[in-house]
Amino acid sequence: MTPLAVSIAGALASFALVLVVLELIRSRRLRERYALLWLVTGLVLTGLSAWRDGLNTIAGWIGVRGYPPAVLFAVGLLFILAVLLHYSTVISRLSDQNIVMAQRLALLEQEQRAGAISER
Amino acid sequence: MSDAVEHAIAPSRLELGELRVVAIVPAFNEEHTVPQVIDELRAFDSRIDIVVVDDGSVDLTADAAAARGAKVLRLPFNLGIGGAVQTGFRFAFERGYDVAVRVDGDGQHEPAQLGRILEPVLRNEVDIAVGSRFAGGTDGYRSSRSRRVGIRILAWVVSRIVGQPVTDTTSGFQAVNRRGIALFAHDYPHDYPEVEATVMVFRHRLRLAEVPVSMRERGGGRSSITALRSIYYMVKVLLAIFVGLFRRNVAPQEETE
């Protein structure tokens, strides 16, 4: 059985994550699009921490004997991996767009300079 | 679609006076429908300026629009509908337009019906008029079931929040006055923006009214919303609405001119 202190600490910490994410959206420092995964992470971890019987049951399913909170670590790790992978795709897209932007800017500058010269 | 074009050839007698009106046409890979939309806009009222926002198309959308004499804002890559439409509002704001209408480049909005959404704005009865497919029980809007359910749920939630019945929260067929242009130029939601924009409009105490219109089947391209995505958008939009309620309003910049 999960120690009570672990359940309480886990639930509080995960719920704090949910609140922080909501506040970040509210103050416009985090876009909803990038917040959803964090919110799901926070809610799932809060649920698993607070629902002690459930954690034990799930631990039994996946063959975790002796220390059910290990499931919390596993699930948390999985979500963090998902968030990181998501960010990698976001960064890839941003760098692609950055290249396009720089190229368009270069073309625009060339056009403008050519225009300025022909006006003289 | 040829039928619809026939309708369009009844020029409007809108009382524009000194008002400058711009039609914002967001388009993403819609080279086949954009020229027709431009022609119909001209046929409706040649005094309306047309600006096509090409949202990073990989086809000839920008060329097709320019060939018809529209102003073209070509985005260097796809921003999504929210970013594209806001580009149009920014243009309208900075170039001093008094009224802006949004007419999608896929041909689903009929320029011939522009009078319906323009008139309440021109008469200064509202700040923003939205063409609704469901107000006044107008006909045949066919769509995937998941999408219709989504539209229903959003309409219900939004109506509760703004305290006024709103039937078609996802309609992009809108006319906006200078106050609305200023607001949208500075703050416009991202993907699937109309729902959040409706709530935003009420929070800024702008007057919004729905006007019954009918819409056509999309002429080209595909809806940006597929079945699985609509669930994702639902959750995202609901989250945005609820968190947005606790947000302080961003005051649109005062007019500088």
pLDDT score for B252:
55
A24 touches chain B (CB under 8 A): no
In a domain, residue B132? The reply is yes
DSSP symbols for chain B: -HHHHHHH-S------TT--EEEEEEESS-TTTHHHHHHHHHHH-TTSEEEEEE-S-SSSHHHHHHHTT-EEEE-SS---HHHHHHHHHHHHHHTT-SEEEE--TTS-S-GGGHHHHHHHHHTTS-SEEEEESSGGG-S-----HHHHHHHHHHHHHHHHHHTS--S-TT---EEE-HHHHHHHHH---SSSHHHHHHHHHHHTT--EEEEE---PPP-SS--S--HHHHHHHHHHHHHHHHHHHTSPP-PPPPP--
Using a CB-CB cut-off of 8 Å, the residues of chain B touching A100 are 76-77
- What are the φ and ψ backbone dihedral angles of B128, each rounded to 5 degrees? -145, 130
For chain B, how many structural domains are there in total?
A: 1
In a domain, residue B160? The reply is no
CA–CA gap between residue B122 and residue B82 (Å, rounded): 25
Find, among B239, B152, B167, B233, the residue nearest to B198 by Cα. Answer: B167
Interface size, chain A vs chain B, as Cβ–Cβ contacts under 8 Å: 32
- The residue written with tokens 């932007």 in the block is A101
Residue B191 is encoded by which pair of tokens?
Answer: 């993907």
pLDDT score for B230:
75
pLDDT score for B116:
94
In a domain, residue B236? The reply is no
In a domain, residue B106? The reply is yes
The stretches of A27-69 forming alpha helices (DSSP H) are 32-50, 52-61
Q: How far apart are the first and last CA of chain B?
A: 42
CA–CA gap between residue A72 and residue B23 (Å, rounded): 54
Contacts of B82 (CB under 8 A, 6+ apart): B188, B189, B190, B191, B192, B193
pLDDT tens digits, A54-99: 898 999 999 888 888 899 999 999 999 999 999 999 999 999 999 9
A104 touches chain B (CB under 8 A): yes
Segments forming the whole domain that contains residue B105: 7-142+168-220
How many residues are there in chain A? Answer: 120
A29 touches chain B (CB under 8 A): no
A contact test, residue of B77, B78, B188, B231 with most A CBs within 10 A? B77
Q: Look at strands B71-74 and B49-54 and give their pairing.
A: parallel
pLDDT tens digits, A1-45: 788 999 999 999 999 999 999 999 989 899 888 899 999 999 999
In a domain, residue B250? The reply is no
pLDDT score for B143:
63
Q: How many CB atoms lie within 10 A of CB A54?
A: 14
Instruction: Give the dihedral sign, CA B94/B190/B148/B156.
Output: negative
The answer to whether the beta carbons of residues B55 and B27 sit under 8 Å apart is yes
CB–CB contact B243 A39 (8 Å): no
Partner residue opposite B246 with nearest CB, options A26, A32, A39: A26
In a domain, residue B194? The reply is yes
In a domain, residue B256? The reply is no
Mean per-residue pLDDT pooled into runs of 10, chain B (257 residues): 46 79 97 96 94 96 96 94 96 97 95 94 95 71 68 88 89 95 92 86 93 78 65 85 78 49
CATH number at residue B183: 3.90.550.10
